[in-house]
Structure 1
């Protein structure tokens, strides 16, 4: 698994918590793919779009019939956030295959966001 993650991550630049916050302030879409139990336990990032991992590609494909309203173009900057920054890397690879080449993820995931003191809604 480590080799797979290394290969996947070599194809894009990941963001730290402060960089992800700055990207969101500049219009990037934060996408929280954590499952419901983690969101309930730990809270939500204000303004993040919550999309279950098994629906991610369907909801973010700008040409898809089931797309989220926020999925406006293939040029959209997307920051995928899971709990610790592992599943999000694999999700980004899938989004790149859909043509969403500006997608990236958050190093350390939600846990790093919270540890950095960035906003969280309970």
Structure 2
């Protein structure tokens, strides 16, 4: 007869975030900006359209909404973007405030994109640091 272990209590999102963030180094807004000026780093904005329209865009950032992220950035994937050509690519994921981007970065790690990280404080930290922004184009309506 085998002993049954008691169920593990739920971790909770705050503890989960702390746990996943301990597996990589996050970057601040200034560091993300400086990394974006060189080659080999891809800024990826995963905010949804309404936030991009409201707050603007980070120049040069690739916009990939969260629900498509893994398909677009997997270097082995059939639906990848041209920029996703290597597992060695450094990716900085940007959400609105730096929460969803942490979970997204860890998801990219499971695809072998071990250099993926995220922006502490997200887009709002970028904006607060006074870094470059552009207005989002208005969506086309038929």
Please confirm whether the aligned pair reaches a TM-score higher than 0.5, indicating the same fold.
Answer: yes
| Structure 1 residue 29 displacement after superposition | 0.1
1:39 aligns with one of 52, 58, 70: 52
Q: Which residue of 2 aligns with 1:7?
A: 19
Aligned residue pairs, count? 122
Q: How far apart in 1 are the matches of 2:55 and 2:63?
A: 14
Q: Secondary structure at the match of 2:43?
A: strand
Q: Secondary structure at the match of 2:34?
A: helix
Q: Secondary structure at the match of 1:70?
A: coil
Give ranges in structure 2 of 5+ residues lacking alignment. Answer: 1-12, 136-142
1:14-38: per-residue Cα shift (whole Å, max 9, x none)? 0000000111112210000000000
Q: How far apart in 2 are the matches of 1:46 and 1:25?
A: 10
Kindly report which structure 2 residues correspond to 1:71-110, keeping only aligned pairs within 5 A, or say none: 71-110=84-123
Kindly report which structure 2 residues correspond to 1:52-71, keeping only aligned pairs within 5 A, or say none: 52-71=65-84
Q: Which residue of 2 aligns with 1:19?
A: 31
Give ranges in structure 1 of 5+ residues lacking alignment. Answer: none
Q: How far apart in 2 are the matches of 1:61 and 1:24?
A: 20
Q: How far apart in 2 are the matches of 1:72 and 1:121?
A: 27
Q: How far apart in 2 are the matches of 1:22 and 1:72?
A: 22
1:47-74: per-residue Cα shift (whole Å, max 9, x none)? 0000010000000001101000110100
**Structure number with larger C-alpha Rg:** 2
Moved over 3 A (4+): none
